[in-house]
Amino acid sequence: MISIGMSTSCNFPMGVEQSFRLARLAGYDGLEVMVTTDPVSHNAAALRALSERYSMPIFSIHAPSLFWMQLIGGRDAQVKLERSAALAAEVGASTVVVHPPFRWEAGYARNFERIVRETAKNAGVTIAVENMFPWRVLPGKFPRPFTAYAPSPDPLDLDVDAMTLDFSHASLTGRDSLEYAMAMGDKLRHVHLCDGTRSVDDGNLHDEHLVPGRGNQPVAETLTYLAESGFDGHVVAEIGLHKIRNQQTRLDMLIETAAFAKEYLGQEHVTRDPMSISRDDRINGRTVRRARKAAARA
């Protein structure tokens, strides 16, 4: 059965622990942890404590590949990927998600395919390269695309063993996600569940990450295809909730996303009741706080 997870990026800028809580309440099977400025996100002891406390396994680690994460974990992109892979192994996650290199990361870009393959082998994890998209810059009144990634924003152009499909990124590129998934074939190992409406060529400047079903990508059809084709990777919700301040609304959107995934993967969706806090939970909570402080000092 295909496991359905939630990315901690859904709950940005809230902390990692709250993401565990919301994912559990919304009925997800596990978590993807994006490495961010939250020290818990790159502390294995803290993550293991949270995973145990909320009975939520960690499926994947998202390396700090976003533009605004350039300085998280240092300036060396290869080192950051290696640390993410080591973290995944420590917390029992099977997959690391990474973006293609930025053009200005010249050495990393030249050796990216080799680095990915060697890092995956050394850490014993799958490193799934995510499909990205052209950026658009606005010189005066005439917008034009700008290729921010090298050798390519499309993992189909790269010699890699595993790929991540992101529906919002496919939308920005003007790609049909079902066709994309079929083209990736057996190399498709991970899915970021979301939706989008328009491409960069249509003037869209935003990576939308909508709740699935609220855009125009064939998300339902792609999930059905995955279920019928023997896909055994993870489907992880990565919807944009950073502008939603009401916590109940956030939870409702996460529940809607999980229910959508379950429906089209042929599974039953069940939410969970809030946890009661026992003495053992309080001990685990202290473990998380100690780990947070230790990570902040490091």
3-state secondary structure 187-231: HEEEEEECECCCCHHHCCCCCCCECCCCCCCCHHHHHHHHHHHCC
> How many helices and strands (H and E) does the chain possess?
10, 10
Predicted confidence at residue 283, as pLDDT, reads: 43
Predicted confidence at residue 296, as pLDDT, reads: 57
Question: pLDDT per residue over 164-185, tens digit each?
Answer: 999 999 999 999 999 999 999 9
Q: How far is it, in rounded angstroms, from Cα 39 to Cα 280?
A: 23
CATH assignment of 3-297, given 3.30.470.20, 3.30.1330.40, 3.20.20.150, 3.30.70.60?
Answer: 3.20.20.150
Classify residue 42 by its DSSP letter: G
Predicted confidence at residue 142, as pLDDT, reads: 46
Q: How far is it, in rounded angstroms, from Cα 258 to Cα 195?
A: 13
Predicted confidence at residue 106, as pLDDT, reads: 86
Helix (H) or strand (E) holding 136: strand 135-137
Distances (CA, A) of 52 to 36, 111, 112, 267: 21, 37, 34, 24
Predicted confidence at residue 242, as pLDDT, reads: 85
pLDDT-flagged residues of the chain (< 70): 66-74, 136-146, 276-298
